[in-house]
Amino acid sequence: MEITKICCIGAGYVGGPTMAVIAQKCPHIQVTVVDLNEQRIKDWNDPNTDNIPIYEPGLSEIVAEARGRNLFFSTEVEKAIDEAQVIFISVNTPTKTYGKGKGMAADLKYIELCARQIAKVAKQNKIVVEKSTLPVRTAEAIKSILDNTGNGVQFQILSNPEFLAEGTAVKDLLNPDRILIGGDSTPEGELAIEALVNVYANWVTKDKILTTNVWSSELSKLTANAFLAQRISSINAMSELCEKTGANVNEVAKAIGMDSRIGPKFLKASVGFGGSCFQKDILNLVYIAKSYGLNEVADYWEQVIIMNDHQKRRFSNKIVQTLYNTVADKKIAFLGWAFKKDTNDTRESAAIYVADDLINEQAEISVYDPKVSRNKMLCDLGYLETRSEVENAKALTIFNNAYEACKESHAIAILTEWDEFTTYDWQKIYESMHKPAFVFDGRNILNAKELESIGFIYNGIGS
């Protein structure tokens, strides 16, 4: 089966970049990305591709090349479903905030809505691809919905999880470590797997395309994120011990990272991990383990989240304690709000929780982030429902440059590892601040000796 038309439901952080790269690398395939959010689709279609809704290095150039040629963004969901041979489901699967599994299980209502809409619209056989991160055996539920429509259409369900790191998503798509495709071992399932393999084979070598059963594919995504998050929480746990003993966590990380069995990646101590995947996927894994009665397994993975939450609280507590046990009416400048550099995604960003803690202590927060808007920051704080919108707006002031954000502040907190922060004139910043001037480097990106020679009191993570 040769694929000539693909539809992706969901124009977010996964669907948009993934489909843009597929369209660029497969000019013979028509790729249509659909979403009910009219403003999001309007933004994807903005003639100035620098204004597309997702910031990823290199993405705007790829969209500019393929959009209008074989890449389209539309709100006509049913039309795209009807025309496509392959339908990717790439909608949000947030943690449930209600009912059974509240706070842990993935909320699959959007996945089910997609499946029911596909079942209603489809008139020919379709390949349906899970692209969202889903609990194990979700494909079974999707298949049950699709196979009981009574219209005679045959569906093949494939699992094709994304392994993208925000900030390097385009690089990860162009040169992936692996492409994972799970499907049924039936003849029809094998043909569907082969069809999707052939799409990726336009730019990915076959040795990097791994095929499995559906359940292995679904669980591999959760497991990969759990292992990566575990490494971050592990080194962050050691950072607290380093601070108590006089060890330096950067030196410890370098020493253990040179062990070929461990390796150096994801051993950077910080204020904690954020993003849409790590916490959500681990909580999902915890819920699945508990649902099978595997309480020890659940407790093990839940500790990764507990440690991450502790690291964020520890950072905000350290700011308060260092500033003579009070930050009331003191200006604390945040450099960075996104959960990591080279993205405008703020989901579960450490900055949100540190800001929340400090505002509760009556601090005045000033923020500069090169890619995150004021409205997004206020929405993030509003989501916590700690204070009213008016109270958040009063406590949080957003600036268009770091120098203004830091002016007349009592302390600076580095919350995102944006490269530009290392290039600033820190002498100029120091001169504009109240003395003593403190820097709390939540990402360990600044030169401690250089800042201390200027006059700053430097506080890193784990040193």
Q: What H or E segment, with its residue span, contains residue 255?
A: helix 249-257
User: Helix or strand or coil: residue 51?
Assistant: helix
Per DSSP, which regions of 240-346 are E strands? Answer: 331-335
Residue 26 designated active-site: no
Active-site hit among 126, 221, 340, 341: 221
Q: Which amino acid is at 450?
A: E
Which residues are bridge partners to 458 per DSSP?
439
Residue matched to tokens 């600076």: 412
Burial of 27 (0-12, 13-18, 19+ CB in 10 A): middle
Residue 221 designated active-site: yes
Residue 277 designated active-site: yes
User: Helix or strand or coil: residue 46?
Assistant: coil
CB 211 within 8 A of CB 197: yes
What is the spatial distance between Cα 215 and Cα 328, in angstroms, rounded to a whole number?
52
Q: What H or E segment, with its residue span, contains residue 222?
A: helix 214-245
Active-site hit among 56, 130, 162, 364: 162
Helices and strands, number each (H, E), in the chain: 18, 14
Active-site hit among 277, 302, 406, 417: 277
Residue matched to tokens 């909580």: 283
Cβ-defined contacts of 250-255 (< 8 Å, 24+): 250/444, 250/462, 250/463, 252/462
What is the spatial distance between Cα 439 and Cα 382, in angstroms, rounded to a whole number?
27
Q: Which of 161, 160, 75, 89 is nearest to 119 (CA)?
A: 89
Active-site residue set: 162, 221, 277
